[in-house]
Amino acid sequence: MKDYVKDLRNLIGTRPLIIAGSTVLLQNPDGKILFQFRSDTKEWGLPGGAMEPGESFLETAERELHEETGLVALKYLPLGTISGKELYFQYPNGDEVYNIISVFLGTNIEGTLKINDPESLRLCYFSYEDLPEKLDERARLILETYRSSL
């Protein structure tokens, strides 16, 4: 989370925040989906993150994808936006959020897959039939919601 969210946390502590952000679904030529093993939750999630002031959902998707994976998608297909009580999350440090997530399918991928920030410990592709055990529940919900788009 960037300084904006940190500044809010300094004011309200760990109480729930409504956080808008974007997630990008990427598939390799074998149809496997890209996941990141996150340093904060020690779970597998999808590339994405919180919107910064002034950004659109698309700009957030573009920035987060590159920051977290080193990749750039030349085309983004908006799949939809999800929100609600199912997207409540409490981080290990106690911070609580309700997420509003705009989901994109990224295609025409360029770049070299690499960890660019401290949020990721590993990057790996998994098939839908062989998802990792420690899968973030928000990622699971996104996959269930948009599986037909993959």
pLDDT in tens, 35-60: 999 999 999 999 999 999 999 999 99
149 within domain boundaries: no
Q: Quote the distance between the C-alpha of residue 50 and its chain's center.
A: 8
| Structural domain of 128 | 3-143
pTM of structure: 0.92
Burial of 70 (0-12, 13-18, 19+ CB in 10 A): middle
Whichever domain contains 118, its CATH number is: 3.90.79.10
DSSP tag of 56: -
Residue 150 lies in a domain: no
Measured CA to CA, the distance from residue 104 to residue 82 in angstroms comes to: 11
What does the pLDDT look like over 90-148, one tens digit per residue? 999 999 999 999 999 999 999 999 998 888 999 999 999 999 999 999 999 999 999 98
In the chain, the number of structural domains is 1
